[in-house]
Chains A and B, each alone.
Chain A
């Protein structure tokens, strides 16, 4: 299965700032997914990021707040913009290697907004 590296693993940020989370995969993958996990909650899908096309956002998530880049088949970034304390969550990326039926997850990026 694919090995995913997420950076940063955790960060503490000030209200009103932005943070970019990186997701690096050790193999080429077609589809990447970004999730948010608020404290004590389950995972919620933010968007699907395919290389060469705009990300597709789920209901309740907008590009201005969570811009995503997918420059190649092994890398993606998620930016959390104009942060507020409500954005304090774990953000996870997940990949679906081509031909594989199993999604793999990164360890997550724990974000605390003060």
Chain B
């Protein structure tokens, strides 16, 4: 079973920041938090991952709480093309698969 909890759906206005929460209260010390998204009919796309420090790349920022029991993915300026299902996954990086939960369907509207 997935080890994360996400809201089933969220809405965001185009140009605004999208903040997607994820709870992972049973995360182990060696597990990373990964975020992927799946745009309709495509394979999942990697967004970002982190262990305990906040991370930022060209796509998004990842904020992990100090106790590591939850995190937030931030898309700073959402566009219509960011409409997708977003998956938060905890994983030990070396040699393991990704176990997907149900994710959050983000709808960005103009």
Do A and B belong to a common assembly? yes
Residues of A within 8 A of B (CB): 1, 4, 30-31, 33, 35, 42-45, 48, 90, 92, 94, 96, 101-108, 110
Tell me how far the C-beta of B36 lies from the nearest C-beta in chain A, rounded to whole angstroms.
8
Q: How many residues of B contact A (CB 8 A)?
A: 21
Chain B positions within 8 Å of A, measured between CB atoms, are 32, 34, 41-46, 49, 85, 87, 93-95, 97-103
B contact patch SS: loop
6 contacts between A and B (CB under 8 A): A33-B97, A43-B98, A45-B97, A102-B46, A105-B43, A106-B43
Considering the chains assembled together, what is the distance between the CA atoms of A48 and B95 in angstroms?
A: 10
CB-contact partner of B49 in A1, A90, A102, under 8 A = A102
A interface SS class: strand
Q: Which residues of B contact A102 (CB under 8 A)?
A: 34, 46, 49
Using CB atoms, name the residue of chain A closest to B38. Answer: A43
Docked-complex contact B43 and A92, CB < 8 angstroms: yes
Compute how far the CA of A96 lies from the CA of B44 in the bound complex, rounded to whole angstroms.
Answer: 14
Q: Which residues of the partner chain A approach B103 to less than 8 Å between Cβ atoms?
A: 42
Shortest Cβ gap from A44 to chain B (Å): 7
Q: Say yes or no: A42 contacts B87, CB within 8 Å.
A: yes
